[in-house]
Amino acid sequence: MPSLEVNVARVESRSALWVDRGLLEKLPTLVSIDHYSSVVVVADKGAARATSRIQASLQLSSSSILAIEGGEGQKSVDGLVHIWNFFVDKKLDRKSLIITVGGGATSDLVGFAAASFMRGVAFIHVPTTLLAQVDASIGGKSGINFKGIKNLIGSIAQPCAVIIDIDTLSTLPERELRSGFAEVIKHGLIADANYFKEVASQNCAQWSPEELVSIVFRSCDIKKRVVEADESEQGPRKTLNFGHSIGHAIESYTLENGPPLTHGEAISIGMIGEAFISYRLGKISQEDLSAIERGLENTGLPTRLPLPISPDRLRELISKDKKNVSGRVKWTLLNAIGVAVFDVEIPEKLIHEALSHIQSGGSCA
Ligand code: GLY
């Protein structure tokens, strides 16, 4: 079965990563649970089917499973305390194993709870959304939101394994699948032009489960290489932020003012804004910019804001991004399709041009 190993030097840890169908039934062959003093599962209530499969496969009692609400709203101090209380009630020790099941918000929250409990207890991610499979579950970022700022408190701690069972996507709403495809397309744009062409060639709902195994594996492989090169995001890991400076501003705005866009929808529009900046700086051609727009549209993702948001308001939100240094925005841009550059500073006027470009009805050049 397709597998990878993510090796990071900083803490000399490694994560085994498997991608295939039907993996949850094979868990006993992938994880030696006898190694651990106890095993608990913290699972998103929305991932009940995957959780039952894990429970049956590892023969766990119901009392070793904590079901939590999924979503960003849980990534709070209260959410964290709820999980720590469960760990204390279950008498976890340093040799215990925690299995997280659900989307990216669950792996962020429970990964942080595990990484901070007793200075770190082993954990395995079982991501059940495409977004979590290709992004949140790889690379060890975990944390909670604080004072209205996403992931303000957190850590980087690697899971001991990531187990991606593509069958968990069969019940994923199409809008959530599309949201994950924004990150898949981003992987192509920052690292592999051929991969971009391939994954942006059709509506994402048309891929078969077998094709999704291959797509998820290739995206994980791209992300693994980036994380291995720079676990702590001092350099190349910043390339993963392509589309996210503008995208996070759009996501925050629509969360507060509604109707909310998914992360992937906001990042898709953000990638158009940041590809436009790359084009205006002469880094990519107008044909490249059009190909990126077409690719996102083929997939079913938006390329323009669904409602007008004033460029000034978006600019204000961009300035609050925690990626900024000394108040200056450091952009990740494209030097070509498949090649990203990071820490680029650009004139203020160009930011406004890009924010006008993504308004509905904006034109390509
Ligand atoms: N989600 C981007 C990263 O893991 O660096």
> Which residue range(s) make up the domain with 73?
3-172
Residue 362 pLDDT class (50, 70, 90 cuts): very low
Query: What distance in Å separates the CA atoms of residue 158 and residue 51, rounded to the nearest whole number?
Result: 22
- Across the chain, mean pLDDT equals 94
Does 164 share its domain with 271? no
Residues 126 and 215 in one domain: no
Q: For the CA atoms of the chain, what is the radius of gyration?
A: 20
Residues 343 and 276 reside in one and the same domain: yes
- Residue 57 near residue 39, CB atoms below 8 Å: no
Q: Is 147 exposed, middle or buried (0-12, 13-18, 19+ CB in 10 A)?
A: exposed
User: Which residues does the annotation mark as catalytic?
Assistant: 119, 141, 183, 223, 233, 237, 241, 244, 248, 263
Q: How far is the CA of 130 from the centre of ligand 1 (A)?
A: 14
Q: What is the CATH number of the domain that holds 229?
A: 1.20.1090.10
Do 186 and 86 belong to one domain? no
Domain end among 172, 195, 212 = 172
Quick: pLDDT tens for 255-296: 889 899 999 999 999 999 999 999 999 999 999 999 999 999
Indicate if 219 and 279 belong to the same structural domain.
yes
Percent of the chain whose pLDDT exceeds 90: 87
Which residues, in sequence order, are CB contacts of 218 under 8 Å at separation 6+?
187, 192, 195
Given 118, 152, 172, the domain boundary residue is: 172
CA 258–ligand 1 middle distance (angstroms)? 25
Same-domain status, 161 and 194: no
Contact 13, 232 (CB under 8 A): no
Cβ of residue 113 lying under 6 Å from some atom of ligand 1: no
Q: Return d(Cα 247, Cα 80) in angstroms, integer.
A: 27
Q: What is the pLDDT of residues 123-178, one digit of tens each?
A: 999 999 999 999 999 999 999 998 877 888 999 999 999 999 999 999 999 999 99
Based on the domain organization, do 186 and 322 belong to the same domain? Answer: yes
Closest residue CA from atom 2 of ligand 1: 240
